[in-house]
Amino acid sequence: MITAIRDVRRAKGMTLAEVASACRPPTTAQTIGRLETGTRTVSVAWLNRIASALGVEAADLVQLPVRADLPVAAVLGPDGAAAPKRELVAVPPRAAAGAVAVAVQGSVGDYRAGDEIWCEKLAPDALGAALNRDVLLSRPGGRFLFGRLIGRDGGKLHVLPLGAGARQQVVADPPWAAVAVRLVRGL
């Protein structure tokens, strides 16, 4: 983990010894130095102790890895590729908290082998918004059902599995359900 402990400490005008004595319980300047340089692993507990000693939030001591921007070189439309009218940047996808994925091992329906389908879990009262969309349903015994949600009758969900000749299945009150929101496909 990359930390900004040294930068924040210097900005506050504090020495290693001052930070060490301000920690609760107090520690040594050597320990703070090792945590700053990364020669000792920084735990969440240490981040909280040092943040308190510096009078900042623990999040202020953590540096996220730098993500390179991906410039958009062209925009593709019905008339072909053209230069963007203004500078655009493609934002890499980020999974939402609680999201799950489906790894496609064999081509089925619209999906190809190697695809990843990112799904966001839904609250039971939000299942109506997933009608006519692909969903992943959890079933008892560690089993799952993936397919198009074609109907909802109270707590019963009607799902048409992918593939030719598949028959509708009804799942009553699944422990959780997730709707497909992103397809990740390598070319």
What residues make up the domain containing 30? 2-63
Residue with tokens 């707590």: 155
Number of domains in the chain: 2
Do 54 and 109 lie in one domain? The reply is no
CA dist 99 → 13, 19, 57, 67, 78 (Å): 42, 39, 27, 21, 34
In a domain, residue 68? The reply is no
Do 104 and 50 lie in one domain? The reply is no
Do 130 and 180 lie in one domain? The reply is yes
pTM (predicted TM-score): 0.61
- Tokens representing 102? 């489906």
Give, for 50, the enclosing helix (H) or strand (E): helix 44-54
CATH number of the domain within which 159 lies: 2.30.30
CATH number of the domain within which 56 lies: 1.10.260.40
Provide the pLDDT confidence category of residue 2 given band limits of 50, 70 and 90.
Answer: confident
Do 104 and 176 lie in one domain? The reply is yes
Do 56 and 115 lie in one domain? The reply is no
Question: Which string of DSSP letters, residue by residue, matches 165-180?
Answer: T---EEEES-S-EEEE
pLDDT (tens digit, 9 = 90+) per residue, 99-152? 999 999 999 999 999 999 999 999 878 888 899 999 999 988 889 999 999 999
